[in-house]
Chain A
Amino acid sequence: MRKKVYYLDDEIDLCNMFREFIETEEIEVSTFTSATVAIAACAESPPDLIIIDYRLSDTTGDVVANAIDSSIEKILVTGELEKPQHEVFSQVITKPFSLIELQSVIEKLK
């Protein structure tokens, strides 16, 4: 079955880049620049994984994560100097991240 991965970041370029690199026949990628839309999408069609940027235009990644079903795995990406620590995320990855590394993280998903 094709894995479903969501990516939420208010930087549209990062969203496009992520999709272009990660999306394969095994992995289906949807990207969001709006937290509200992403939360709604998770409720409607839950992904296997959602990667959330910490600093969003109108909220922060942890707030978004808490609004999403706990059964969905969540990874935080952040460009902050001080890494935010939240139990809701399975991993925190610092920006700028290496796409190859991120890819291997996603591939390891069950």
Chain B
Amino acid sequence: MPEHNYKFFFDQSKDLLCIANSDGYLIDVNHSFCDVLGYTKAVLLEKPYISFVHPSDIEKTIQELERLDTDHESTNFENRYRTQSGSYVVLSWSSTRDPKTGRIIASARDITAYSNKAHKLQQLEAAMNAKAIMAETDKKGVISRVNDRFCEISGYSREEMIGNSHSAVNSGLHSKAFFQNIWRTISNKEVWSGDITNRKKNGDLYYVKTTIIPLTDLEDEIFSYLVYRQDITDKVHNAMDLAKTLQILNETSALAKVGGWELDVATGVLTCTDETFQIFEVDQEEGLPRTLPDGIDLYTPECSSIIDEAIKHCLATGEPYSLELMANTLKGNTLWVHTEGKANYVDGKIVTLSGTIQDIDAKKKSEKKYNLERQKSIQNARLASLGELAASMAHEINNPLGIISGYSELLLRDQAGDTRAKSKIEVILKSCGRISHIVNNLKKFSRAEREQKQKSIVLSDLINESIMLAQPNLKRCIIDLQFEIESEAHIVGNVIEIEQVFLNLINNSADAIKDLPKKWIKIELSVTTDSVIVRIIDSGDGITKDELRNIFSPFYTSKKVGEGTGLGLSIVDGILKDHDAKIEYDGTSDNTCFVLTFKRDKDC
């Protein structure tokens, strides 16, 4: 081969080619050598080549040169050379030494990129070894390598594990199918990942997030499995604790009948706890109330506007609310709930509303019952003192009344022919009769009568008594009262209580219509096979829906302060319930109309 051909080969080779003398200087380098290191040829030849070597690599380079002295050959020796920019490149050398001249002829390849990759892998493996639980098995699952972390967590030594399968750490808590699935996956050359419960040598359990990587050779045959595990025991324990706490919380809230809810302002999504669903009798499979309107629909029509208002106000102002409302469950039951809501802020903006729902139905109902009982006992105390007063008054009135009526009778007997005088005396006697009747009526308030709970009553008589007691009030207000008896029947009840009912209703009507231009009250008594029905109608033009909601509630009154106790209709309602009777408002009537239905006493 002609000389210039060698020259061309030397100059144009992509490998770094050089010739060095025995003094440690380069005497020739090719273009690639200059290009890779970034120096001019002059610079490279000027200094001993060892001065370009990375300080950490100098020692091994000198050793390799010494070996070259004896062996004359060196291959795949790697060291780092400093480039002109100050960085280093990794060079892989093949060198020969001419024993005669002592010259070294060397070629090098820049393996920096490859070396970096290898270095990265090395670091990765080191890190994994240090931090993760590592094991490697052959393709049959026989352990060939475990790291310190494996030994630490399992409590087994390397000697106990290597050469065996993983059965030593098998907790026995996973099914055969579970492991079959793993083998199916990894023998298919797919990575498997999942949580496994293992058992330590001392019997304790530990939990590992496991990744099994099948490693294949150049023929794509599996030769090994790399098992990489992370200890998640603490996490699992925390999750267990959390689940337990949640369970306790759920049980507690079920006992207290308190549910929770949260409304996401941005999305409008409503999230509820189990107990909330329980309270509203929402079957969770049936579909949950997902948005605010769904939640609001769970209240009665009157209450849904109140809660709607409260939530809007809370959203606008951030003011919390606390309400007692009537809910309509999905199964159609009505119950009292206490609901609270408050705004939750992030960066000064309301992002969610959250609150509670508590079933207070039993409490509310007993509260109502208690209130009613209390009013009744107040009423009873009043009646008792009235009874005492009546007893002493009766005696004091009846004697003088007897004198008046007796002397009137005497006078009447003596007025032989004076008809004018006679008629006057008869008026006196009639008036005496009225007084006597009224006094006799007070008998109802006496202890014996009050304690005699139930007896058969002719309802029309009783209504007439009530009308008579209300008469002074009716006359004062100039109200016309008509009582129409369609047919007659007995009911069983307590005279004084039923009379109270009518007296209350008549007086209520009177109060309601006394300022109207037309003032009348009409009472209609009719009888069906089982019931006695009384309609009390007055010239008023009805009760508004808003008022209707409350009229039977204790202490509710539409009258001015000082004019009503707010107890009338609630007492009426209570007494009627005690008698198995009921009062209803007739919304279809043009005027204000209450309908009372009593059970008919069929024995009479």
Contact = CB atoms under 8 A, between A and B. Distances in A.
Interface of B: 390-391, 394-395, 397-399, 401-407, 409-410, 413, 432, 436, 439-440, 442-443, 446, 448
A82 B392 CA distance: 11
B184 to A, nearest CB: 99
Contact of B432 (A17, A96, A100): A96
10 contacts: A17-B403, A21-B410, A21-B413, A79-B395, A82-B446, A95-B399, A95-B402, A96-B398, A96-B399, A96-B436
Contacts of B401: 95-96
Interface residues of A, number: 19
A81 B441 CA distance: 9
A82 B401 CA distance: 17
Given A79-B395, A80-B395, A81-B394, A14 B403 contact: yes
A72 interface: no
Contacts of A95: 398-399, 401-402
Contact of A81 (B390, B405, B410, B432): B390
A20 interface: yes
Closest 3 CB pairs of A and B: A79-B398, A96-B402, A17-B406
Given A17-B406, A17-B410, A82-B448, 20 more contacts: A13-B403, A14-B399, A14-B402, A17-B407, A21-B410, A55-B395, A79-B399, A79-B402, A80-B391, A81-B394, A81-B440, A81-B443, A81-B446, A82-B391, A82-B446, A95-B401, A96-B399, A97-B402, A97-B406, A99-B410
Interface of A: 11, 13-14, 17-18, 20-21, 55, 79-82, 94-100
Nearest to B448: A82
B443 A82 contact: yes
A70 to B, nearest CB: 28
A92 to B, nearest CB: 14
Contacts of B399: 11, 14, 79, 95-96
Nearest to A21: B410
A96 B406 contact: yes
Contacts of A99: 406, 409-410
A96 B409 contact: no
Contacts of B432: 96
Nearest to B387: A81
B390, B395, B432, B442 — most chain A CB neighbours (10 Å): B395
Given A81-B390, A82-B443, A96 B405 contact: yes
Contacts of A17: 403, 406-407, 410
A21 B407 CA distance: 9
Given A14-B403, A79-B402, A20 B443 contact: no
B406 A18 contact: yes
A17 B407 CA distance: 6
Contact of A79 (B390, B394, B405, B406): B394
Contacts of A81: 390-391, 394-395, 439-440, 442-443, 446
Contacts of B443: 81-82
Contacts of B409: 21, 98-100
Contacts of B395: 55, 79-81
A11 B398 CA distance: 12
B410 A20 contact: yes
A5 to B, nearest CB: 15
A59 B432 CA distance: 28
A55 B407 CA distance: 21
A95 B406 CA distance: 10
A14 to B, nearest CB: 6
Nearest to A96: B402
Contacts of B403: 11, 13-14, 17
A11 B395 CA distance: 12
B402 to A, nearest CB: 4
Nearest to A80: B395
B394 to A, nearest CB: 4
Nearest to A79: B398
Contacts of A97: 402, 406
A21 to B, nearest CB: 6
A110 to B, nearest CB: 25
A96 B413 CA distance: 18
A37 B448 CA distance: 34
A88 to B, nearest CB: 21
Nearest to B403: A13
B448 to A, nearest CB: 6
A14 B410 CA distance: 12
Contact of B406 (A21, A80, A82, A94): A21
A67 to B, nearest CB: 23
A17 B406 CA distance: 7
A21 B443 CA distance: 29
A14 B219 CA distance: 139
B447 to A, nearest CB: 8
